[in-house]
Every structure is written in C-alpha cells, then in structure tokens.
Amino acid sequence: MLTSIAPHEPEAHGLLALMELNASRTAARTDAAGEPILILEQNRALWDQLQIRRGMQALRRSRELGGARGHYALQAAIIACHAEASTAAQTDWSRISGLYAELAALARSPVIELNRAVAVGMAEGPAAALVIVDRLSHEPALKTYHLLGSVRGDLLHKLGRHEEARVAFEAAAGLTGNKREHDLLRRRAAEAARAAAT
C-alpha cells in the first residue's frame, strides 16, 4: 500500500523489502514443537523463495531511487546477505558487520551495536566481538535485555571460557519472559557447565 501511495519514496520500498525478507524465513524459525531455531541452523530449503525474490526486487527499487543508505534499506540489505547465501557458511559476515556500522551511524542504538558484535564475531572471531559486548554491558538500555547475556555467553563458550558462559546464559534465561527462549538458554547453560566440567 505504501509503495503504491509513494512509488518514488525509497524508504517505502526499503520497508517492503525488509518485511518480505523477514517473512521469508517464518517456516524455518521454529521446529515441530515450536522451539526456536537459530538462523545458522535453519533449513534454508524452507525459506520462501517467492518472498525473497519480491524482497530483493523491492530492495533494488529502493537503491534505484537513491535510498541504499536509508534505515529500512540497510536493515533489508542485512537480511539479504543471509538470503543470498545458499548455506550458513557462505554468509558474508564482513558485509553484514559493515552494514550494521552504517545503520549505527544513522541511529545510535545499543541493540544495533549488539547485532554488529554478532557479525564481527562471525567475521573476525569471538574475541573481537567480546570487546564490543563487554563495552555494551554498561548500557542502561541493555541491563534487562536477555540477548546481551545470550550473545556474551555464546562468545565466551566459543572462547573456551565455559564457566563464565554458563553464568551468562543463566543470567540471560532469568531475564527473558519467553518460556521457549528461557528453555533454550537453560540448555545452553547446561552445555557450558558440562564443557566446564571436562
């Protein structure tokens, strides 16, 4: 509707791209029991290719109209990096990290910076990402944000700091109000505890 009302507004097309590309992964986000599946573990055959094509077309139109650096277009471009990769291993994490940096320059947000840290971790390794995450631990807006502890726990686990990872996962589990996320984080904490014990 927005693109028909404002066909020459790049951000309308950027928003459409963001919505289409986000929705394209709906069928792969949870398992048969409703448990969340992380993007790296999703079955990409379940991603809706028609929605991906429509999203990519909308993103191209936004760029043609000069909106490549718009807020919605940048978010859509990040998701497009996942859609363009046929496997999780082929994801261009360096590009995603750069796009998050551009997004952060438009609107300073600790959540955007946390997302950038995840991309940095994938592109450059967990140690580089942990520096960013630890800096964010003092952000008042993230004090009760369970994903900060979740990301920190994941990075610590990858670095072999399993006991610290367990503590971070348990703290994150205590902050989420979503039972499925809580259970996932408790499982991650148990995995870290087992690794710490070996």
| 3-state secondary structure labels for all residues of 125-155 | CHHHHHHHHHHHCCCHHHCCCHHHHHHHHHH
Average pLDDT over residues 16-25: 98
Residue 1 predicted with pLDDT over 90: no
pLDDT at 136: 96
**Mean pLDDT, the chain, as a whole number?**
95
CA atoms 185, 190, 193, 194: torsion sign: negative
Helix (H, G, I), strand (E, B) or coil at 30: strand
Other Cβ atoms closer than 10 A to 143: 10
pLDDT band at 2 (very low <50, low <70, confident <90, very high): confident
Question: Domain 92-198 maps to which CATH number in 2.60.120.10, 1.25.40.10, 1.20.1300.10, 3.30.70.20?
Answer: 1.25.40.10
How do the domains of the chain map onto residue ranges? 1-87, 92-198
CB-based contacts of 31: which residues, under 8 Å, 6+ apart?
Answer: 37
Q: In angstroms, rounded to a whole number, what is the distance separating the alpha carbons of residues 188 and 193?
A: 9
Per residue in 120-132, pLDDT (tens digit) is: 999 999 999 999 9
Q: How far apart are CA 14 and CA 121, in angstroms?
A: 27
* pLDDT score, position 157: 97
